[in-house]
Structure 1
């Protein structure tokens, strides 16, 4: 990471500052981000997720990791099944409930791992990718303090404390493959990326308000 970029990330003082920098990294305006190899940005196959992820970051949800839905044979000749999924850091309780309520109302899987001093919810991970039937990746599950330090290096001390003691919410499509890409549509309506369409039950400026449980 260049000195200029290191200073840029170090200068972020709030979650909003961090979200803006993450959005700009996703969009290719910034070459580096904490926890990633230099000049190692989003993969080409996930470019279609960038507008959704950037909007989430600018809405107060900082994305930690994500993947698209896929089913098929890859270069090595093995069969892969992958669920669309995203993990977000949420530090605002109101935003947390909007996200979780919308996800549950859409029938998506949710895993909550809460690191607030008065929290304590630690839900088990969901397998999100398999290769020839063997589990390869999962979303959710407890994050170690050591991993937090690896994932968010170089941040302002107070900001690091805030994101490392926030609530990590993983949203996972229950379906493997492209049907699970509906996840991004739900999130786009949450952030206002998509607008009202009478033919689409999710196309509403009023967010679902069901209970945050499931």
Structure 2
């Protein structure tokens, strides 16, 4: 399935990282059906729905999130034991906002990474999923191919930022309160 013509036009119209953040917020809130890098016509995962207000506010404030998850633990459909840290990754172009996010997260004891990987999910006690790291130009182009050249350049020159709870499971959900307070929610 391809992204609808209307959604493609909206994403092509983005000129800045702020525009990308606004469109991402609209996608999170269900007002746009598709986002670059996701299956066309699909919105956020069910586990993400309680996080949408905070994620949308972060995107509008300038921290454009590209991936997130709640802190939870339990058996998966496959019977294996999974533990997730509450985590978000994305991009920030404003150095002041970047410093405020890093300072607030660090003061709250959260893990902050600006281009290195952080293990955020384990399966049966072994690393399973990581957030962060730096995507190569080819991977960025594949994920964000619908953006015009200027918006893509702004996205790729933005600072990567991953924020994660240090603990797995429900206790890590405190991360979302910290980030909510940063954007006045």
Q: TM-score range by the shorter chain?
A: over 0.9
- Cα offset, 1:36, TM superposition: 1.1
Corresponding residue for 2:76?
Answer: 74
**Any stretches of 5+ residues in structure 2 without a counterpart?**
none
> Whole-Å Cα distance in 2 between the matches of residues 170 and 99 of structure 1?
10
Q: Secondary structure, in 3 states, of the residue corresponding to 1:176? A: coil
Please give the residue correspondences for 1:178-193 in structure 2 after superposition, counting only pairs within 5 Å. 178-193=170-185
**Candidates 3, 6, 25, aligned match of 1:4:** 6
Q: What is the count of residue pairs matched by the alignment?
A: 183
> Whole-Å Cα distance in 2 between the matches of residues 151 and 65 of structure 1?
13
**Candidates 100, 103, 109, aligned match of 2:102:** 100
Runs of 4+ in structure 1 off by over 3 angstroms are none
- Cα offset, 1:17, TM superposition: 1.4
> Whole-Å Cα distance in 2 between the matches of residues 149 and 133 of structure 1?
34
> Whole-Å Cα distance in 1 between the matches of residues 135 and 4 of structure 2?
28
- Cα offset, 1:70, TM superposition: 1.0
Query: Which structure has the bigger radius of gyration?
Result: 1
- Cα offset, 1:169, TM superposition: 0.4
Please give the residue correspondences for 1:166-177 in structure 2 after superposition, counting only pairs within 5 Å. 166-177=158-169
C-alpha contact 2:17 2:151 (8 A) present in aligned 1: yes
- Cα offset, 1:151, TM superposition: 2.2
**Any stretches of 5+ residues in structure 1 without a counterpart?**
114-123, 194-214
1:55 aligns with 2:57: yes
- Cα offset, 1:150, TM superposition: 2.0
TM-score by length of 2: 0.96
Q: Secondary structure, in 3 states, of the residue corresponding to 2:85? A: strand
Q: Render the CA deviation track for 1:116-135: whole Å, top value 9, x for unaligned.
A: xxxxxxxx311110111221
**Candidates 132, 146, 152, aligned match of 2:138:** 146
> Whole-Å Cα distance in 2 between the matches of residues 77 and 2 of structure 1?
37
1:157 aligns with 2:149: yes
- Alpha-carbon RMSD across the aligned residues, in angstroms, is 1.0
- Cα offset, 1:15, TM superposition: 1.6
